[in-house]
Structures are given as structure tokens and as C-alpha cells.
Structure 1
């Protein structure tokens, strides 16, 4: 993978966000995505849900983060963030 900006899309709006790198993996913090898409609650690529990355023990990272997919456009799923328990389901990525 590379550090080229990730394209995020909601409706007709597309925004590029630079990836962060922790020495092992490239990723995107939810709070940065929320700056561009305040109603974001989930993410998909070609209709497949992207799960939030977790620690080895399965706990979500805080702030939540998602992986970097530079060859794809990530579709942002809007919704109500207050009181929502919705979380996209998909292949689980594990980060140590």
C-alpha cells in the first residue's frame, strides 16, 4: 500500500484525505472523516462493509479507525450518530 490520499464519497461529494501511518499500517481516523462528513456512521467499498480496526484482543481502537484502500473510493454511510449502535459488518481487520 501507499500513502496516496484516500477518496471518500457521500452522494455527489468526494473528498480526499491523507492516510496516517503507524510504522506498520496505513489508516484513517474517524474524527478526520467526520470533519468532512459529520453524519458518517459507516463505510463501504463496492457495497461491502468496512469494519473498524481493532486491537489484537478485539477491542475497538479509540478514536475509531479504518484501513487505507488507495485503489478504491470509500462510500460514506450517513446516519444519526446520537444513540446509534449501528456498526458496519465485514471482514475484520486486526491491528496490534
Structure 2
């Protein structure tokens, strides 16, 4: 695949980026290197290789989800700058 100015400009527009001419040329060169590298990977024989879902063969060691270090509601609200009897009071952020 050949990276062109049109591809870079369209991608930049979609990503809400802008480049001067020098940066645009640098982006073309960098993107072309990436595409060439991916094309090089197509030469690798992957027959019989299972797809990976992760980079590690280790399994997660799940633990029980247990409650610990609880504090009472009153203790939690004690140092809050603003609160009512049950909740923290915070400034409105959505109009």
C-alpha cells in the first residue's frame, strides 16, 4: 500500500489534526515505514500457529471478593466539606 498526501490529509482531518508541509511529509514517511513493516510480517510462515489472545501464557489467579476495612457512613462523611445525612455533596457538573 502506498501512503499518499490524500491519505494523510483525510486521516488528519478525521483525527482533527493539522500539519504543515514538512510535518505532512514526515507523516507520509513514518506511515509508509509502518505499512512496509506490516507487509514484511505477511512473509512469515504462520501455518499451524494458534492466534494469541494475550502475550502471556500465565493464568489469572482469581481471589474471592471479600469485604474488608469497612468504615461507617458517619466516619466517611465526617471530614467531607459538604454532605447531608447520607451523601457527599459535590458541585453540579452537568447542566
- Give the TM-score of the pair, scaled to structure 2: 0.19
Could you say which structure has the larger radius of gyration?
2
More helix by percentage: 2
* Structure ranking higher on relative contact order (CA contacts 8 Å, 6+ apart): 1
Q: Which structure dedicates a bigger proportion of its chain to strand?
A: 1
